[in-house]
Chain A
Amino acid sequence: MEATRTRGLRVPRGAPFVLPYLPFLIVFGIAPTIYALDLAFTNAGGGWVGFHNFVRAYDDFRFVPAFKHILIYTIVWLGALMVFVVGLALLLHGRATRVSATYRFLFYIPGALAGAAAVVIWLFMLDPTVSPGSFLLRHVLGASIFAQSIAPGNLPYIFAMIAFWTAAGGWIVVMYGALNTIPPDLEEAARIDGAGPFTIAFRLKLPLIRKWIAYMLILSFATGTQLFVEPEIVQHASFGLVPDTWSPNQLAYQQAFRYADFNVAAAIAVDLLLIGLLGAVLIVSRSGLFRAED
């Protein structure tokens, strides 16, 4: 496409609109990222040390357990998102708007809670002496006291559940909005052709919201692997039963702020970044997220 001519100046179309965003992107996005990358490959004095920080991070006795935890957590987390968020959005779409809106509102309410607030609620929900779900706690988790609810083996599932509880509503809203961009005539046409609700949902609607699903998965994969607030606050409230280095991000935080070792912290962060990038690349290439047409 040609650049537009504005009073003789050839300004690339669209560029001026992006300009106000750029300083923020640079100051709060790119510059810190570069600095963090720099920290990962240098030592406290600024000298280049290659992969030394990464080795030291790996050698920390908490490194491997933290990544094991986050692996299980991410699998459960993404699975729940993929199945339940998309499923619920599809279930809601096409129903009477008011019923649908009510459900969406109900699903969304937990998302309004600050990370800290959501965890506080779940501290109560996981305590069999106080919780309305004590029956489930006793029979699903085998827990009759709080300390049993947060037994080490349960943690990935509990954190995934808390994260799902707060995030699902928001993503359902996004998916629902995405579904609304589908022209209704397409659906009508399919219905006239005899397609049942399942067919319409899975073969018509689902592929059309591919970009949004991809976006959700990329972000959720990254935020999942970077889990911090839930284990941190449960740790505060558990009298220490949950370690403060349960997740890799927590370990990075401790390295940076407890041991004053920003270099190892940055190395762990780069590890997490690479994992997130890998996920993003995979998802982007498979869904065509960046194609401007379509």
Chain B
Amino acid sequence: MLKGTITSSGIGIGRAVILHQAENAAHPIHVTDPAPELLLFQAAVAEAVHEVEALRVRTLAALGEDKAAIFEAHAQILQDPEFQAQVREEISTHRLTAVEASRRVSQTFIRMFQEMDNAYMRERAIDVKDVTGRLLRKLQQIPEIDLSSFDSDTILIAGDITPSQMAMLDHKKVKGIITEAGGKNSHTSIMARTLEIPAMAGVKDATTLIKASAEVILDAEAGVILWNPQPEVKNDYSKKILVLEEQKRNLLEYLELEPVTADGSTVSLYANISSPQDLASVIKNGAQGIGLFRTEFIFMDRALAPTEEEQYLIYKSVLEGMKGLPVVIRTLDVGGDKQIPYLRIPTEANPFLGLRAIRYCLRNVEIFKTQLRALLRSSVHGRLSIMFPMISNLEEVLEARSLLTEIAFELKAQGVPVSADIMIGIMIEVPSAALLADVLAQHVDFFSIGTNDLIQYLCAVDRMNESIKELYDPYHPAVLRLIGQVIRAAQDQKIKVSMCGEMASLPGLSQVLLGLGLREFSMNPASILRMKKLVRATKLEDARDLSKKMLGLSSGREIKLYLDSLVCI
């Protein structure tokens, strides 16, 4: 049995498919006769080149010359005279196996790139790693795994999965994802939640302990992983899956119902997304709009920032896809745990307190302006709101707004249409902004409370630090007080206020938040129907009493105990 962090809840059963890192597979090091090794190397190179060439042709047809060019570079790396000469040299003179020689020479080149001064060139290590990894797989006859189609139900197990791998995943057959690396907020985890695929991260040694084709049960409700289970155990789990599916189906009856409380107050339920691909899930779960589009994910996993035109097309597709429903697009939230190498943010001692989000954007205006132009151009295709992240004082709000006005003016002067009613809002996720909410509310159209960061900053807890994770406490009375204060400030100035963190989907707390006056929630699409059910079962009067009572308690533990006892009844 293995344990790990649940990143996307649910239960999945399937055959293990292991994404091996060919660099680490066990293999013989030395040989007595180098001649067959040289032939083996030659054959593996030819095979890898052949595959890369096929990929290039396929990519050219599907995505165009730009995307295909990288595979041409990959083929060149494989056929590179320096690379080949060095591998041959290692085989002939040091009597290394073709695998070991290729591994060592690849490592040398990868390290060389990683050590370069220029962050952009450091990124090139990925290209070399990618293509030499393929060569090593050929040499060891490790099959290439096509993530886009599996024959039977599959539990995918890997060291880590890149966003591009996630994007090509066979949604129908992949019943679970297990990774050794990563945490709740990695892109893979967020995507798994959106796709409603059960997932666990931080599962140590999963790729070595679980063998390929083993039958695996991923219980991302209890946080355990079993493999080759006894028939009765598997039976139990199959029943549990049926129960979960039944619950999900029962929630579907809420799809057509309005999110109103038992005493008739209207609540709005929006979805968080990180790419246009998430729209299907948003619509399927009946969201009333997008409350948070995290644009940083369109900047990730690529070599250069997306151009204005690329961004425009993405924003336009989301706005059009939502057919006039409100869409809140958050400007680039980079830094902290979200690193984008080509943006060249220097290594910082405290990245979460450093050059993040709006701070980065206001100091790197070109990137910011490109995004704002793309956003403003897209505004005519739907109901756009623009939101600035990580605001910690008034100056940042004013500066961001004036840049936006300036660009809108430029666009209009060029004859480019811009919508006249774009709402401008800010994230409230830094305590200084929360305490200044009454002032900030006079300068924006809406607030969105980002609880993940607000809790981290308010309680001074690094949410990535496992050893103090119990101090990261959404039930902390200080957190509830501060949120209450922000909601009141927004109400006083008659501006909208919503919440887009994970906190809103914790059952007991959602009632407290309703009681504190919150009427707009944005969450993972998969959580929306459950929230709607909860809203419809809640009387505002009871919620108000509950929130008053909770604010009167003095510790997070007491609050959690009380709320848990309610949920049990």
A and B bound? no
Interface residues of B (CB under 8 A from A): none
